Structure 1
Amino acid sequence: MVKVEIVDEKDAQGTSPYASHDSSRTSSSVSLDSVDSNVDKDESVLDRIAALVDIVPPTTRHAISTKISRTASLLKRASKVAGNVVWIVTTSALLVALPLALALEDEAKIVAQEKELLEQQQGQQMLAPAAYPPGSNPNQPQSLVPPGF
C-alpha cells in the first residue's frame, strides 16, 4: 500500500533533492540516483499485484470477479457432465460390447471348425471310391462317417 504523508518545506530543508531552494530549482546537479528508494526488499511479486487492486474501480472489480466465478462454475459443471458421459460409455461398453464381442468370437470359431470338418469330409469322399473293394457299387449312397471309424 502507498502511504501518503504531508511534509512541510521547513522540515525538509536540505534532506530532499526536490526542496524549494532557488538554486536547486534551476540546478540539475541533483539526480534521482542520489535519492534513496523506499522499495521494500521483502516485497514479493504477489504483494505488488495485490497492491494493484486499488487502481481498479470497485464496479470493475466486481464485474471481473463475477465473470471469473461464472466461468469457473461453467467449467466445473461441464467437467462433471463430461465425466458422467465417459462413465456411461465405459460401463455400457463393458456390459454390452464385451459379451457381444466374445459371442461373435465363439461363433467365428464354430464356423471355422465346421468349415474344416466339411473340407475333411470332401477330401475323404474323393479318396473314398478308390478305398472300396473292386466289386462294390460306386453309386451307393455314402455314409456320413468315413470308413475306418
Structure 2
Amino acid sequence: MVKVEIVEEKDVGASPYSSPSSSRTSSSASLSSVASEASVEETFYDRLTALRDIVPPTTRHSIASKVSKTASFFKRGSKIAGNIVWVITTSALLVALPLALALEDEAKIVAQEKEMIEQQQGAQQMLAPTMGAPGSNQQPKGLVPPGF
C-alpha cells in the first residue's frame, strides 16, 4: 500500500528524493534506487493486497459473487453425485448381492439334478445289456438313487 506524506522544508535534506539544490516541486534523484529498496521489503502477499486497491469495489463484488456461485454449484453437484453413488452402492449390496447368491445356489441345484439324471441313465445302460442276454434268468434289481 502506498502512503503519502507531506515533507516539510526542514526535512528536505533527509529525503531520498531530494538533493541540496532541489525544491518542493522538482527532484533530481532517481527513483530506481528507492524502488529497489521497497521491493526487498515487499512480499508477494503485500503486492496482492495492493492490487485490491486498484480494482474498483463493484468489479471486486462482481468477481467475488461469480466465484461464490461457481463454488456453490460445484459443491451442490458433488453432493448430488455422492448421493447417487451411495444409492447405487447400497442398492447393489441389498438387492443384487442376495439375488446373485440365490442364482448361484439355483445353478448348483440344477447341476446336481442333471448329474443325478446322468447317473440313473448310466445305471440303466449297464443293466440293459444283461437283461437282454439270451439264457439269463436274472431279474433286474431295483435302482436306488445315491444317498438312500
With normalisation by structure 1, the TM-score equals 0.72
Cα 1:100–1:62 change in 2 (3 A) is same
- Bigger drift between 5-14 and 51-60 goes to 5-14
Q: Does 1:107 align with 2:106?
A: yes
Alignment partners' CA distance in 2, 1:34 and 1:81:
56
1:70 maps to 69
Alignment partners' CA distance in 1, 2:45 and 2:34:
28
Q: 1:64-89, CA deviations, whole angstroms, 9 ceiling, x for partnerless residues? A: 01001111111111111111111111
Residue segments in structure 1 that go unaligned for 5+ positions in a row: none
SS at match of 1:86: helix
2:12 maps to 12
Alignment partners' CA distance in 1, 2:8 and 2:37:
20
- Listed as ranges, the matches of 1:21-32 within 5 Å are 21=21, 32=32
Deviation at 1:54?
Answer: 0.5
1:120 maps to 119
Q: 1:69-125, CA deviations, whole angstroms, 9 ceiling, x for partnerless residues? A: 111111111111111111111111111101110010001101111111111112112
SS at match of 1:52: helix
Report the RMSD for the aligned CA atoms in angstroms.
3.5
Count of residues paired in the alignment: 139
Larger RCO (CA within 8 A; separation ≥ 6): 2
Deviation at 1:13?
Answer: 4.8
1:135 maps to 137
Counterpart AA for 2:100: A
SS at match of 1:4: coil
Q: 1:25-70, CA deviations, whole angstroms, 9 ceiling, x for partnerless residues? A: 9x99x683587613463x5422321221111110100000100111
Residue segments in structure 2 that go unaligned for 5+ positions in a row: none
- The answer (yes or no) to whether the contact 1:13–1:19 under 8 Å persists in 2 is yes
- The answer (yes or no) to whether the contact 2:13–2:19 under 8 Å persists in 1 is yes
Cα 1:49–1:128 change in 2 (3 A) is same
Percentage of matched positions with identical amino acids = 55
1:97 maps to 96
With normalisation by structure 2, the TM-score equals 0.72
Of Structure 1 and Structure 2, the greater helix share is in 2
